[in-house]
Amino acid sequence: MDENIIDELWEYAERENKRIYKWLDKDNLSSIIVDGNIFWFELTSSLSIMPNWVFYWLKKWCNKKGLTYLYDIQTKF
Enumerate the domain spans of the chain. 3-72
Task: Kindly report whether the global pTM for this prediction surpasses the value 0.75.
Answer: yes
pLDDT of residue 77: 79
Query: Which residues fall within 8 angstroms of residue 46, CB to CB, at 6 or more apart?
Result: none
pLDDT of residue 75: 87
Note down pLDDT in tens along the chain; length 77 residues: 689 999 999 999 999 999 999 999 999 899 999 999 999 999 999 888 999 999 999 999 999 999 999 999 988 87
Strands 29-35 and 3-4, how do they pair?
antiparallel
pLDDT of residue 6: 94
Report which residue type is found at 27: D
